[in-house]
Structure 1
Amino acid sequence: MNEEVIPILRVADAAAAVAWYEQLGFAAQWEHRSEPGLPAFVEVARGTLRLFLSEHEGDARPDTLVYLRVRDLDAIADAFGVQIEHADWGREIELRDPDGNRLRVGAPPA
């Protein structure tokens, strides 16, 4: 088993959040509900990148910032219609999911 960190992001509607993260290349891995109608807890993954999306209050705070380093930054920027910013450490964009969580998506310098 590889050790890893998996950020948990608070979402109001897990199905809507999963659909939004699919635009970033993530795919739902599994969903858990203690009982039908109770809040969902979902894992989405994109290669080795994983995020937990939780409808449970108290699992995470809104407006969280997560940094994702990816190989296809240009394609993601095009898909979301945003301009890539250039910095000494690399190139990056910032996105907000439907729940206001911030994603800084970056790549090393070209």
Structure 2
Amino acid sequence: MVAEEVVPVLRVTDAAVALRWYQRLGFALEWEHRFEPGFPTFMEIGRGPIRLFLSEHTGDARPDTLVYLRVRDVDAVAAEFGAAVEEAPWARETELRDPDGNRLRVGTPKA
């Protein structure tokens, strides 16, 4: 049985470079596809139950997209990237930009 879920699509110019960056966030490659050698890559990456699609196809998504990730330990994520953690009423958060300018707001909800 397939679990229902939402999987955001992020536009990337070089999927291999993007994958290495997302691996620093704890994501792993699930699968990748290209129709022929030299064609754009489309891949799925995952971190536990979180999934993202990364696409080199120009029409799939707009650059500068914002995705919110809820994680158990925002401090560990911020430390990996040398980013500051800020207090919001709903969570402790940090904001990152991937190599293509996509924004990721990463937060740990307050109890």
Provide the residue aligned with 1:64 in structure 2. 65
Tell me which residue corresponds to 2:78: 77
Q: Provide TM-score, normalisation by structure 2.
A: 0.97
Q: Which ranges of structure 2 fall in alignment gaps of 5 or more residues?
A: none
Match of 1:42 in 2: 43
Give the distance between the partners of 1:82 and 1:88, measured in 2 at CA: 19
* CA–CA distance in structure 2, aligned partners of residues 87 and 40 of structure 1: 37
Q: Output aligned runs, 1:1-110, within 5 Å.
A: 1-109=2-110
- Corresponding pairs, count: 110
Letter in structure 1 aligned against 2:70: R
SS in 2 for 1:39: coil
> Please, what is the CA RMSD of the aligned residues?
0.8
Query: Kindly, what percent of the aligned residue pairs are identical?
Result: 69
Indicate the SS of the match to 1:12: coil
Distance 1:2 1:10 in 2: 24
* Aligned equivalents of 1:87, 1:105: Cα separation in 2: 12
Paired letter, 2:16: A
For structure 1, the residue ranges without an aligned partner over 5 or more in a row are: none
